[in-house]
Structure 1
Amino acid sequence: MKIRYLASVAAIALAGLPAMVRAQEAGPATPASADQTATPLRSFDPAYFTQFAPRTALDMVRQIPGFSIAEGEDRRGLGQVSSNVLINGERFSGKSNDAVSELGRIGAANVIRIELIDGATLNLPGLTGQVVNIVSKVDSLTGQFRYSPRVRFRRTDPQLLNGEVSVSGKAGKIAYTLSLANNSFRNGNAGTERVLDAAGNVTDRRYEELYVNGDEPRIAAGIKYTGDTGQIGNLNLAYQRRWVRITEDSDGEVVRDRDYLETEKENNYEIGGDYLFPLWGGNLKLIGLRRFEHSPFFTRIFLDFEDRRPREGNSLATRIDETETIARAEYGWKAGKADWQFSLEGAINKLDTDAELKLLDTAGRFNPVPLPGSDATVEEKRAEIGLSYGRPLSSNLTLQTSIGGEYSQIMQSGPNGLTRSFIRPKGFVSLAWKPVQSLDLSLRLQRDVGQLNFFDFVASADLGAENQNSGNPDLVPQQSWNIDFQATKNLGALGSINAKAFVNFVEDIVDQVPIGATGEAPGNIDSATIWGVSIDSTFKMDVIGWTGVRFDIDYTYRKSSLPDPLTGINRRISGDLIHEFSAEFRYDIPGGNWAVGANYFDFSQADEVRLSQLAEFPIDGGDLGFYVENKDVRGLTVRLGLSNLIGTNEAFRRTFYVARRDGPVAFVEDRDRFFGPVVRLDINGSF
């Protein structure tokens, strides 16, 4: 049955081979490049960005009216593009590469132009809506650097080691980029937490201080080969270390004091590459990826009580190894006005984990206790086949469609281990329509298969949150029908408005479900609905005489609904985003190098729901900040900013129930913590 299904998909793909053979008669095809992409909606040359004095391609993209860089969720394999950014007509090779980092390594002097394109007009499955293509070149050795220290006013060490330096160059047919970066964070907060009984009476009041310190140094290299007859090869290498230390002190007035410690010492690497070359009148692209991550975690808690009972404590040491190996082949060809692509992909994903839980005895010694289901190996083997087709239906209407399917086998070791296999159809159809010169519309219908989180299969404990999940070997990947609509209105010199709307009908969505009489774990719920709208807009005030003034306003609203597995009443997906709003005012003072601005951001999220707890995140106000920027301080761009000026706190309220959430309340933790204003300094330069 499985073989017959995949064979039928292959037969559909092979039906397009006669068109491929006819295409051979027209001579060899040239690989897709920046100069051969679809007709742009708009094209921006470097002169458009002069007033912002950009240092990198990232600085340029951030000033494109009505456009925001989108990084998609964790992709299943390499089949579809998740980012809305291309470089010279190509998507990023690899999975850990993010658009912001990549664009920050391209010097503004190397950018020829930036094209704004409707993704449905490109022969790149997965793209829809607005996409930017950075047309760039590297003729000589260039470099970029960024230094971004941060200081919180209260109870937090200064963040002094955040930045990046990169070098790009070319030697013959080889272009290369080397980078060294560190993502450093020094966060923390402090405040009072009250403990209330079921009647709302305060039973304890605790003063708590949290410190979160971490560094993520990363070294990366990208190498690109361009041959004389259309060959293009990319090799990307990256290695990263991650150190995190979290401490929390909680001093209670009545019941107890709590000392919390959590550490992580991770290392990971990624090797990815692709090679495209002309073959049989089309282009064959071979892609490979190998990722590995080793993550040892350690958590320890001590509790000291006011009534002088013996100290209590526990510790958890967890070792996690994750690997992902992917091989993919894509063959694309042109037949008349149509673009075809046939693809095959194979992948092996693996999670290997073990954990040791210990409890402190009355003599002050830690002794091991069982944590059933925490030592396990989960592995998925997956094969995917697909065929995509795109062509213009008229001068202002373009079609892109894809059909395919995947076969996957999931194996889990351990006492509750299972081996299961699935066949999932997938594909999409999208239309891009330009009814008038200043308006672009796109519509997309997609059958999507979600990415499983292997940690959901394994029993786990979160000592900090005092939660525990049972292992659930019965999980299956979620599937959904997704409908997306996007409209972009070009306002000319005034700016641009980009509006999006979507609705997803999800099957087997993953949320917390009961396991046995008292346990719980991530599990599948039959169905859920998710819909939302968003607007990205830019308004430039030069046309009304406010020279140099610009407003950027973005808003997203998202609503989800699923039947609660405990009560049967519909609720939002646990922890789902509800709304997000951001606005920026910027004034580039004419005739000089100075700019000033202000920005505001806030968001809200749904309650996090467990079977015996309910966590709420009440947020009062958002993050308001101001900045001043000089675009030429001895050749550098320097920005000094101050944020969190209205004192947004980090509030949290968690309700514990005697048994299940549909029963009586046991007690409530109500927390309100502050961290004060934040000073930000950004120094950017080129060499």
Structure 2
Amino acid sequence: MSVRCAMLCGAALALPATAQAQAQGAPTPALTSGVLTYLPADFARFAPQNALDMVRQVPGFVIETAEERRGLGQATQNVLIDGKRISGKSNDAEAALGRINARDVLRIEILDGATLDVPGLSGQVANILTAVKGLTGNFRYNPQIRARRTEARLLDGEISLSGKSGAFDYTLSLSDEQQRGGNAGPERVTDGAGRLIDLRHEVLIANEDSPRLSGALKYQGAGGGIGNLNASIAQSHSLVAENSRQGFPGTVDRRRDYRETEKEWNYEIGGDYEFGLGGGRLKLIGLRRFEHSPSLTRVFFEYGDGRPDTCDLFARTADESEAIARTEYRWKGGVADWQVSLEGAFNTLDNRSTLAVLDTAGVYQPVPLEGGNAKVKEKRVEIALSYGRPLSGALTLQSAIGAEYSNITQNGAGGLNRNFLRPKGFVSLAWKASPRFDISAKIEREVGQLDFYDFVASVNLAGGNGNAGNPDLRPPQSWNVELTANRNLGAWGSIKLKTFAKFIADAVAQVPIGATGEAPGNISKARLVGLDLTGTINLDPAGWRGARVDINTIFRKSRLHDPLTDEIRELSEQDKSTIDVNFRHDIPGSDLAWGVDYSRYIQTAGFRLDQTSQYVEKPGDLGAYLEHKDVFGLKLRGGLSNLLGMNERFYRSVYEGRRTDPIAFTEDRSRYFGPVFDVRISGSF
């Protein structure tokens, strides 16, 4: 399937872009001044029920996952609604689009982000223009059944209501993101010479329920004032349980019971208000987030020879908070767009951890855990000036320059108080080489986000290791370079090719702490380069009416000097490649559609100072589905995945001390979870 799609993609790049009309309702955008405009009628053959259904069918366009970012600064998602960034921080593009009824969509514009007065955007951006006409609603229900060892997922879904009252638009949503997972299989353990020393059979269950209630209110005043208010409250209860039967001639038979639970709740409330002031527009933004996360991990061993049971317990309660205040003022100076922004933020982590072991009398005895209790606080101020203008009829510039000051304080073992002043900014250019071909380039100086959990000590009972905690962490910085080319193929579809590189200073990797400990710490530099190919090939012009192929592939290559051995290796446990190929056929003259999709994900090896590991999925996930677009007004889709019998493989080599010492043992795990059947029922009203 993937070879066939690659051949079609290569052929399409060689085809001329024609104005030939696509047969049987394939999306046919209007092209005006470099903007591709899709109307609701262009998506009729897909029977969309919300804006997300439409955007997913835009040829060659993929909604980018929101990046974890510091504060509320530059835009990172490639979706706008009514020309504005999606309000809020945890409100991602897919969730927001899924709550917009298809009847409220006026049109979808695809254009280059550098041509807009929204700092941070570059490359293809989708702008969804809407007009709320009355009370509407959307719902989806996604049950799933796995063939083996996993209870059915029965409560995954969402229902939302949207409406308008005077100058106010409102949305209310209730959802549950439910996961039910599980697998089982053997694990072989060999010593440093490759001799088999243990056999294990393991069964894993992984469940999660995340109900969320969220609401949004938008105000459009007669005087030009625009306001947004967003709020959400959610829970997330998760369980990971692994049962293992272990034994081998010459060893004691054992039963290992691993259990990890977390019961989190969180809320977010934020808003913004924009109004005209002195020839420009002033925008005031505020946000408050809080998360309470108690968790407990237990590893219990029962022995076949009658010796006392053993058990380790690691408990942690963490409270995280974030408060942000931001102001932006933008104005027009001739043909140029200007914006000055000022942002202040206060982030905290209050972490309390305990470790205990079961003694021979059956009593849990506490174990000292230095650095397990700590408070981390960051105060940050950022100022930036943005400037954008057309340099010619086909060339547009967007730029920003600024600086960030932060104060990071840790209270607890080895606590520190440090200050950082870091420059940041970017320059991007968008060139419309022809009506159907454009190129954009961007150079950016970025300040990275630290994980506050890296500052405190933790224990990983599942892997038999832990982190000592490192209060001396510094935020990483990087120079980022992107070059993107978009080729509209007319009736045939669209192709996008993006190359990117990131040159990181103060990169984060596992480093030695003391004689035997380790924790995330800074190394001098690292490098990441990659290639992203996205495209849609419509097969209508070739005579296969209603058929299309969508391709999304990303390849990454990283490089750093290992902090222990100084050898060249890749970043630990990072995305290395992702391949998604989807074929869809909307059968002309009917309400039926069917499709086949294939995906494969590859991750780099994991590196700790005393071990290496590798997670592998082979041979990838192949699935097929059948969709009916009108079952008593509902859209019904049934699919079967994992048709190739993909296994989850995991390899781990543990050394006698550091990775410079001989290997003590190696684990080779293979787990199978069988076919997966899922149903999606969706509708609107």
Report the TM-score, using the length of structure 2 for normalisation. 0.94
Q: Deviation at 1:618?
A: 2.9
Which residue pairs with 1:209 in the alignment?
203
Q: 1:288 to 1:58 in 2, by over 3 A?
A: same
Report which stretch shifted further, 247-256 or 85-94.
247-256
Distance 1:74 1:379 in 2: 18
Distance 2:336 2:626 in 1: 50
Which residue pairs with 2:318 in the alignment?
320
Which residue pairs with 1:23 in the alignment?
none
Q: Deviation at 1:253?
A: 2.5
Which residue pairs with 1:434 in the alignment?
432
Distance 2:618 2:47 in 1: 36
Letter of the aligned partner of 1:209 in structure 2?
V
Match among 204, 207, 212 for residue 218 of structure 1: 212
Match among 98, 102, 112 for residue 106 of structure 2: 112
Which residue pairs with 1:29 in the alignment?
none
3-state SS in 2 of match to 1:543 = coil
Distance 2:522 2:373 in 1: 22
Which residue pairs with 1:685 in the alignment?
683
3-state SS in 1 of match to 2:541 = helix
Q: Does the 8 A contact of 2:325 with 2:345 survive in 1?
A: yes
Which residue pairs with 2:15 in the alignment?
none
Distance 1:490 1:193 in 2: 50
After TM superposition, the structure 1 = structure 2 runs for residues 273-672 of structure 1, keeping only pairs within 5 Å, are 273-672=271-670
Letter of the aligned partner of 1:375 in structure 2?
N
Q: Deviation at 1:307?
A: 3.6
Distance 1:543 1:52 in 2: 18
Q: Aligned pair 1:137/2:131, yes or no?
A: yes
Letter of the aligned partner of 1:243 in structure 2?
H
Please list every run of 5 or more consecutive structure 2 residues that lacks an aligned counterpart in the other structure: 1-31
Q: Does the 8 A contact of 2:106 with 2:131 survive in 1?
A: yes
Q: Deviation at 1:39?
A: 5.4
Deviations 1:426-462 (A, max 9, x none): 0000000011111010000000000010000001111
Q: Deviation at 1:309?
A: 2.7
Match among 173, 185, 189 for residue 179 of structure 1: 173
Distance 1:317 1:555 in 2: 40
Q: Does the 8 A contact of 2:237 with 2:263 survive in 1?
A: yes
Deviations 1:174-214 (A, max 9, x none): 10000000000110100001111111111111110000111
Match among 178, 191, 197 for residue 191 of structure 2: 197
Match among 233, 244, 262 for residue 239 of structure 1: 233
Deviations 1:571-625 (A, max 9, x none): 0000011111010110000011000000000011111100001111233200000
Deviations 1:549-575 (A, max 9, x none): 000011110000000001101100000
Deviations 1:248-299 (A, max 9, x none): 1000123422011111000000001000000000000000000000000011
Which residue pairs with 1:251 in the alignment?
245
Please list every run of 5 or more consecutive structure 1 residues that lacks an aligned counterpart in the other structure: 1-37
3-state SS in 2 of match to 1:618 = strand
Letter of the aligned partner of 2:173 in structure 1?
S
Q: Deviation at 1:330?
A: 0.3
Distance 1:529 1:261 in 2: 37
Distance 2:362 2:276 in 1: 70
Letter of the aligned partner of 1:218 in structure 2?
R
Distance 1:450 1:618 in 2: 28
After TM superposition, the structure 1 = structure 2 runs for residues 60-99 of structure 1, keeping only pairs within 5 Å, are 60-99=54-93
- The alignment covers a number of residue pairs equal to 650
Letter of the aligned partner of 1:556 in structure 2?
I
Q: Does the 8 A contact of 2:34 with 2:435 survive in 1?
A: no
Which residue pairs with 1:188 in the alignment?
182
Q: Does the 8 A contact of 1:39 with 1:117 survive in 2?
A: no
CA RMSD of aligned residues (A): 0.9
Q: Does the 8 A contact of 2:640 with 2:677 survive in 1?
A: yes
Which residue pairs with 2:29 in the alignment?
none
3-state SS in 2 of match to 1:574 = coil
Q: Does the 8 A contact of 2:487 with 2:494 survive in 1?
A: yes
Q: Does the 8 A contact of 1:40 with 1:115 survive in 2?
A: no
Q: Does the 8 A contact of 2:67 with 2:77 survive in 1?
A: no
Deviations 1:35-61 (A, max 9, x none): xxx955301001110110101100000
Deviations 1:55-85 (A, max 9, x none): 1100000000111000232111101111101
Q: Does the 8 A contact of 1:443 with 1:486 survive in 2?
A: yes
Q: Hey, which bits of structure 1, 4+ residues long, moved more than 6 A? A: none
Report which stretch shifted further, 451-460 or 301-310.
301-310
Which residue pairs with 2:224 in the alignment?
230
Distance 2:326 2:574 in 1: 33
Letter of the aligned partner of 1:360 in structure 2?
L
Q: Deviation at 1:308?
A: 3.2
Report the TM-score, using the length of structure 1 for normalisation. 0.94
Report which stretch shifted further, 252-261 or 233-242.
252-261
Q: Does the 8 A contact of 1:585 with 1:598 survive in 2?
A: yes
Deviations 1:88-143 (A, max 9, x none): 01111111111111110001111000000101111111111000000011120000
Report sequence identity in percent: 55
Distance 1:140 1:415 in 2: 58
Distance 1:115 1:618 in 2: 39
